[in-house]
Structure 1
């Protein structure tokens, strides 16, 4: 148990019509302060996207998620938010929003390897 550190995660959801509250899971974001880890993984099911929305394309949604990935990595093209410290970047991404891409409430756990948790949670909740 000594090797385990806390991590937090949120499920990334696509909700094209916020007022209808219909969504499907498209990704996961995982954060561990002690491991200095912040990453996301996503997959957009094209059939679900077509069923939920004809107003946004796969390319547009992918661009938004790539921007989130840049923020996770602290990349220069992540904009001002990409310059925040790792915890603030996670909090900003996981914050409640009224947009078509939003996150579930955050959840916490213990792990020795946040990357493995990212993969496990992604397979369980997205694929």
Structure 2
């Protein structure tokens, strides 16, 4: 397929000019030869922003981004392939998209700023735009593997802080053909007694949530004769409601139906109870809300 040159800039939320701190909130992209101009901006998953800029009211943050989303929609429509609004310009449609892009991304004062313009080649500007948004805003550059690495670091730090780190170590289990490594296995003497596995089930797409949950369910079922009897999944789920949350609930229920304990990885009290061997029940209610 034919490759097209595209230019793009990262949309940044920078409420405090004095500190120069910012967060990536979107992407705007133009393919000049196609007259294509489009954008993606985050208007729903704002917990990261409100936690980072904790002095700002969450409603204000949401209002700023939604207003800018409306403005970007208006600008995109001016550069649309149908030619709506073109009568007010003296340049061609292709020039219109590129002109609007460069006017939009000029450095200016305000809470919304742009990165330097960057360039790429692609056979699908729409796909490239979504990929860039997933990478720079949703930070899906390594998917569940990356997020689970962060969760493991969180659990490791908590165990160490509570002087429980020496009780757990990474360990691999195998049935001769299939093997898997678990980051936290409680070992007494030389006998493994418990598996604690952080798992990320907060992907944007329901299919990816269920696929990842089923992958680890298969692993545990395949190796159940080699694993200790107490297997605990410490999970992180989606921040938003909707279909991803429904898929998350189903994944949790599948674990529970197979006698696998499920806890919230962000619930430090629950994690410590598990590490210390205190009974915790099968799953905390907040997981399934």
The answer for the alignment partner of 1:54 in structure 2 is: 56
Give the deviation of 1:64 after TM superposition: 1.8
Higher Cα Rg: structure 1 or 2? 2
CA-atom RMSD in angstroms: 2.0
2:64 and 2:4 map into 1 onto residues whose CA distance is 36
Structure having greater relative contact order (Cα 8 Å, sep ≥ 6): 1
Aligned equivalents of 1:31 and 1:72: distance in 2?
Answer: 10
Who is 2:149 aligned against? none
Match of 2:72 in 1: 68
Structure 1 contact 49–58 (Cα < 8 Å) conserved: no
Q: Tell me the secondary structure at the aligned position of residue 20 of structure 1.
A: coil
Partner SS state of residue 98, structure 1: coil
Counterpart CA distance in 2 for 1:121 and 1:87 is: 19
Give the gaps of 5 or more residues in structure 2. Answer: 80-84, 90-95, 139-289
Deviation at 1:96, TM superposition (A): 1.1
Aligned residue-pair number: 120
How many Å separate the matches in 1 of 2:69 and 2:21?
19
| Secondary structure, counterpart of 1:18 in structure 2 | coil
3-state SS of 1:27 partner = strand
State the SS of the aligned residue for 1:64: helix
Counterpart residue number, 2:191: none
TM-score by length of 1: 0.84
Match of 2:13 in 1: 14
> Aligned to 2:7, what secondary structure does the other structure show?
strand
Say if 1:72 and 1:90, in contact at 8 Å, map to a contact too: no
Q: Which runs of 4+ in 1 moved over 6 A?
A: none
Does residue 4 of the first structure (1) align with residue 6 of the second (2)?
Answer: no
Query: C-alpha offsets along residues 52-81 of structure 1, whole Å, 9 cap, x if unaligned?
Result: 151533023211222122112218xxxx9x
2:28–2:37 Cα contact (<8 Å) kept: yes
Structure-1 separation of matches of 2:103 and 2:73: 13
